[in-house]
Amino acid sequence: MQKEAKFWDGVAEKYAKSKITDEEAYNYTLERTRFYLTKEDEVLEIGCGTGSTALLLASSVKRLTASDISKEMIRIGAEKAQNEGINNIRFMTNEVSKAGLAPNSEGQNHYDAVLAFNILHLLQDLPQSLEQINKMVKPGGYFISKTTCKPTNKMSFKLLAMMTILPVMQVLGKAPFVKLRKSNEFDELITNAGFKIIESGDYPANPPHRYIVAQKLK
């Protein structure tokens, strides 16, 4: 994880300035996420990056804990929250496997909702991570994620070129671990982790970014 954290620390400033590639799809899934949140909710976001989505969702919840493995990402996120006067977000550096160790404002390790946007395809042991996430969600609570997926049709030249050169970039420390799966594979993995999917879709559709709202069964 130290190698991954170092990579994201190095690109944090550039990442913070990057634009959303599909604002319509982003805004749609943002609104769908708000639909499942309440003003009484304690929420955890894993892989929060520089906190852009956390800042937009803060007004919809009681408190949001935003975590990431990159200290630099967290520093930028906390700075943005301070500048915007948002005081119900707690930023913390943590791995997915340890994020649940951070208690919410009630001193509990369970959350009403756990969010994971653009992070699942970057996790090296996704089944184990999903099991850990399940432990963080209260019974009846939600796990909401959005993940870059493998196209069902032929890959675009740009994506194919990127995936071809990726192993070399990873060896040089210029790229993180990435494993793209098909949308239905993410559905299956999340279901196997003890969740019931109640809403899903690909936004955008090409290349697919799988949006899933899943509820913890018990």
Q: Residue 51 is part of a domain; what is its CATH number?
A: 3.40.50.150
Is the pLDDT assigned to residue 71 strictly greater than 60? Answer: yes
Domain that holds residue 47: 2-151+180-216
Average pLDDT, integer, range 107-133:
90
Q: Confirm whether 133 is domain-assigned.
A: yes
Q: Are strands 137-148 and 111-117 parallel, antiparallel or unpaired?
A: parallel
Q: Confirm whether 156 is domain-assigned.
A: no
34: confidence class by pLDDT, cuts 50, 70, 90: very high
Q: Confirm whether 185 is domain-assigned.
A: yes
- The token duo for 116 is 């994971």
Q: Confirm whether 161 is domain-assigned.
A: no
150: confidence class by pLDDT, cuts 50, 70, 90: confident
196: confidence class by pLDDT, cuts 50, 70, 90: very high
Q: Confirm whether 166 is domain-assigned.
A: no
What single DSSP character describes residue 121? G
Q: Confirm whether 147 is domain-assigned.
A: yes
Q: Confirm whether 187 is domain-assigned.
A: yes
Q: Specify the DSSP element, H or E, that contains 200.
A: strand 195-205
Percentage with pLDDT > 90 across the chain = 69
Number of domains composing the chain: 1
Comparing 105-109, 189-193, 210-214, the range with the smallest average pLDDT is: 105-109
Q: Confirm whether 167 is domain-assigned.
A: no
- The token duo for 126 is 């996704």
pLDDT of residue 102: 59
